[in-house]
Amino acid sequence: MPSVLDLAPEAPVVPVVVIEDAADAVPLARALVAGGLPVIEVTLRTSAALDAIRAIAAEVPDAVVGAGTVISAAGVTDAVGAGSRFLVSPGWTDGLLDAMRASGVPFLPGVSTTSEVVALLERGVREMKFFPAEAAGGVPYLKSLAGPLPQARFCPTGGVSLASAPSYLALPNVGCVGGTWMLPADALAARDWARVETLAREAAGLRTVS
């Protein structure tokens, strides 16, 4: 099974998208892809999310669309059925982990403590979402995990910004970061896709900068 963190190794940031209107999904995804951020996480927080994933999967071939906020086995089934190419959860249980593993697509279960990391390593999972990143200890916390648990790799999400992302990306156990700063609410409300593309391009350049 391919790795979520390696789906687009040249793209250091995964946009975390909340879509209220499925009609916005395709132009939004096209703007992110044009800006250099092809791996897109659409969170299952709205009634439009699954339709948005279907639309992106069908109409934006250069996008790698996945589902976030996956918290149940039913959510796994629905997301994969809609065309999700990866799954992300804010946390995990044995049942959810089993469902994600059985889905056949890459997945990132969420962790915020050392014990959760060790438990996943025990289950053979080495790639994880660190959430909520800033509230759970941020860069210093992940740096402290690199010594005793070097086999674990993370995608920190939650409070990560343009300013803090380079510090995360510089860590040896971080493969990418998740963020929303390239999707400001006023730009989305105005459907200002050109601005989204500009902000995405700025985020896509962070790997080189760091």
Which candidate in 59, 129, 143, 202 is catalytic? Answer: 129
Distance between CA atoms of 147 and 161, rounded to whole angstroms? Answer: 25
Which candidate in 10, 41, 143, 202 is catalytic? Answer: 41
Report whether 183 contacts 160 (CB < 8 A).
no
Query: Angle CA(170)–CA(149)–CA(90) in degrees, nearest 5?
Result: 75
As a whole number of Å, the end-to-end CA separation of the chain is 29
Q: Which amino acid is at 58?
A: A
Distance between CA atoms of 114 and 145, rounded to whole angstroms? Answer: 8
Q: Is 135 helix (H, G, I), strand (E, B) or coil?
A: coil
To the query of whether residue 129 is one of the catalytic residues in this protein, the response is yes
Catalytic residues: 41, 129
